[in-house]
Amino acid sequence: MQNYSHIDHPDFRPKPRAPQFTPTAEQEEGASESTDNAPKSSGKSLNINAQANSDKPTSTSHSHRSPQDHTAAAAVRDISPIVVKASLGDAKSQVELGDMYRAGDGVVQDFKEAHGWYLKAAHQGDPAGQCNLGHLYRLELGVDRNHSTALSWYKKAADQGDAEGQCYVGLVHDYGLVGEVDYSAAMDWYMMAANQGHAYAQCCIGLLYDKGKGVQQDYEKSMKWYLRAADQGLPLAQLWIGDMYLRGEGVSQDETIALEWFSKAVDDCSQHAMGLMYRRGLGVPKTNTAFSWFLKAAQQGLPDAQHFVGFMYHRGEGVSKDYSEALFWLFKSVNHNSPYSQYDIGTMYLHGQGVPKDYSKAQEWYAKAANLGHPYAQYCIGSLYENGEGFHQDYDKAMGWYLRAANQGFPRAQLAISNMYLNGIGVSQDKRIAVDWLTKAISRKDVDVVSQMAMGRMYRRGLGVPKSADTAFTWFLKAAQQGLPNAQQFVGSMYRDGEGVPQDYSGALSWLIKSANHNNSDAQYEIGTMYLHGQGVPKNYLTAKGWFVKAVKYGCEEAEASLSEAQKLIDKTTRRPRLPKGG
């Protein structure tokens, strides 16, 4: 993983005043949606795991902090008694003083000073000092980011049986911060900490069961561990429980209960939860307010929120599109090994958005995300190999990457494999296997609209399935209703021709216009044809010409001849009659 330590963190660098806020090790790494650029698990799932390394708590049981209540409201005070004890070698006082410098609590915030006091405690074998040093190196606070150094300090604490150290050794394995991802090792370390009552470790175990990472997916076990962490007041666990009720996975779907759990989250997690709720319209109006909530959480260092802010700048969702700002926030998020942000950066390089178009860099970023299990990134690498974009075309490698994504249940990859078997691309043509893969793609609750479209085409043409216009229309309609322009065009055409459905020119025109508004040239051509021949609308050669012009502009070659025909009819009907001689 590259080091992006040259990119400053927002809003929590040292400032010349006290007291000040700096995120705790856990607050730095908050909670949350596949990104909407990742495959959606359902129309309303918040998919809190919008990025792999964002599933960290705002508080944990057994978290190493000063026993005193250091809050932002604390006044500058006499710290000399603590300094004296710390200077005399009292490890707990050294950790406490380090906490104060780190948070700017009663002193001017100074990460280097915090590092010095933590180091003194750590050298005495104090696990709190060792863990806090690990946090500084992992979160790039006053030192260069170094996950290996962080791991070495976490391991020193863990080897003493310290729950916090055990939890964060597990985290390093979970997200591949040093070496490859190792879910089995992560589970072992999390379990050690969880059995000591460490709330965040309990939540991490719940997440592994929830997502089936290194273990058989088991929603019942997942909920059990989430509840154990939530009972200790861990906001992240409360968010995940709410998400399970929202998805209806392992429990009956219930938005009311989901909202109750989201409302229990506090502090920066609450800001992130509010962003999620406004983005989905869960219990509140669906508005652009979501962006401002995500931004608040992002400015406190939450990687999930940073990803959402970058994603929303990238898409222009709730804020003006700004590729520079998108990259700024996405790079902050990738410092935590976020596969979703890695994927988004890869996509920006693929399309030259805010950066020069570069297939090699796109593939590099996709590979980072893919190796962390991101199915969309795996699919995109397969697509690059299949189409020979950026490097030599290689169908075997394409199939390998498609299979990795397909085996995670990603419909688009399953469709790509189906297409390769249907057309004999890199494999022996086999329509039966093609249909098998396509059936997998459409069997999910969150079936991909592209898969629905593909199934419609297969039934329309009788490819591996009985030819059925009625069934084809049903599949096209499902995809059209979810906004797929190509499907909208097919539905419009079938209504116009009475294919698989009673002929309905009004319905045809309505669907064709929806598709045409997305610059679908075939739909634009068909609308022009309806006006040219008066199918369900009065003949209007000028209107027909307008649609044919659009169709030609967007690549419909067939529209060129119709455009000439429309122009001739316009000339014929508008030609002024010749006056008789001498008249």
In a domain, 18, yes or no: no
More confident of the two residues 43 and 200: 200
Q: For the residues of 504-552, what is the DSSP string, one character each?
A: -HHHHHHHHHHHHTTT-HHHHHHHHHHHHHTSSS---HHHHHHHHHHHH
Of 13-17, 309-313, 573-577, which has the strongest mean pLDDT? Answer: 309-313
Q: What is the mean pLDDT of residues 177-182?
A: 84
Give the model confidence (pLDDT) of 245-292 as tens digits: 888 888 998 888 888 888 787 555 667 777 877 787 766 777 788 899
What's the pLDDT at 141?
84
More confident of the two residues 319 and 409: 319
Q: For the residues of 370-409, what is the DSSP string, one character each?
A: HTTT-HHHHHHHHHHHHHT-SS---HHHHHHHHHHHHTTT
Rounded CA Rg of the chain? 29
Residues 433 and 361 in one domain: yes
Residues 430 and 492 in one domain: no
Element at 486 (helix H, strand E)? helix 485-497
Residues 428 and 372 in one domain: yes
CB 143 within 8 A of CB 137: yes
Q: Using CA atoms, how far apart are residues 256 and 471, in angstroms rounded to an integer? A: 36
Q: Is 518 helix (H, G, I), strand (E, B) or coil?
A: coil
What's the pLDDT at 196?
97
In a domain, 329, yes or no: no
CB under 8 Å, gap of 24 or more: what pairs does 570-579 form?
570/541, 570/542, 570/545, 573/541
Q: Using CA atoms, how far apart are residues 60 and 273, in angstroms rounded to an integer? A: 18
What's the pLDDT at 114?
94
What's the pLDDT at 212?
86
CATH number of the domain that 502 lies in? 1.25.40.10
Determine the structural domain holding residue 494 and report its residue range.
Answer: 447-518
In a domain, 462, yes or no: yes
What's the pLDDT at 534?
95
| Of 149-163, 433-447, 449-463, 554-568, the least confident | 433-447
Q: What is the mean pLDDT of residues 211-220?
A: 89
Domain final residue, candidates 411, 437, 463: 437
In a domain, 4, yes or no: no
Residues 401 and 350 in one domain: yes
Q: How confident is the prediction for the chain on average, in pLDDT?
A: 82
Q: What is the mean pLDDT of residues 513-542?
A: 95
CB 460 within 8 A of CB 472: yes
| Of 45-59, 230-244, 362-376, 451-465, the least confident | 45-59
| pLDDT over 50 (residue 527) | yes
In a domain, 39, yes or no: no
Domain count, the chain: 3
What's the pLDDT at 267?
53
Residues 355 and 425 in one domain: yes
Q: Using CA atoms, how far apart are residues 435 and 107, in angstroms rounded to an integer? A: 67
Q: How many residues are listed for the chain in this entry?
A: 583
Provide the pLDDT confidence category of residue 505 given band limits of 50, 70 and 90. very high
Residues 355 and 427 in one domain: yes
Q: What is the mean pLDDT of residues 25-44?
A: 36
What's the pLDDT at 408?
78
What's the pLDDT at 277?
76
| Of 17-31, 200-214, 229-243, 535-549, the least confident | 17-31
Residues 370 and 431 in one domain: yes
Q: What is the mean pLDDT of residues 465-494?
A: 92
In a domain, 271, yes or no: no
What's the pLDDT at 76?
55
In a domain, 24, yes or no: no
What DSSP character marks residue 499? Answer: S
More confident of the two residues 351 and 31: 351
What's the pLDDT at 287?
78
Residues 351 and 379 in one domain: yes
What's the pLDDT at 64?
62
Give the model confidence (pLDDT) of 305-327 as tens digits: 899 999 999 999 999 999 999 99
Domain final residue, candidates 469, 497, 518: 518
Residues 465 and 508 in one domain: yes
Provide the pLDDT confidence category of residue 235 given band limits of 50, 70 and 90. confident
Q: Of 333, 332, 311, which Cα lies nearest the Cα of 323? A: 311
CB 109 within 8 A of CB 100: no
Residues 460 and 405 in one domain: no
Q: Of 503, 500, 479, 555, which Cα lies nearest the Cα of 524? A: 555
| Of 230-244, 257-271, 406-420, the least confident | 257-271
Report percent pLDDT > 70 for the chain: 83
| pLDDT over 70 (residue 48) | no
Q: What are phi and psi of 126, to 5 degrees?
A: -75, 120
Specify the pTM. Answer: 0.60
CB 215 within 8 A of CB 246: no
What's the pLDDT at 353?
95
CB 340 within 8 A of CB 54: no
Residues 390 and 426 in one domain: yes
Q: Using CA atoms, how far apart are residues 537 and 530, in angstroms rounded to an integer? A: 7
What's the pLDDT at 38?
33
Q: What is the mean pLDDT of residues 52-73?
A: 39
Residues 350 and 406 in one domain: yes
Give the model confidence (pLDDT) of 79-107 as tens digits: 889 999 999 999 999 999 999 998 888 88
Domain final residue, candidates 437, 462, 492: 437
CA within 13 Å, CB half, 478: 19
In a domain, 472, yes or no: yes
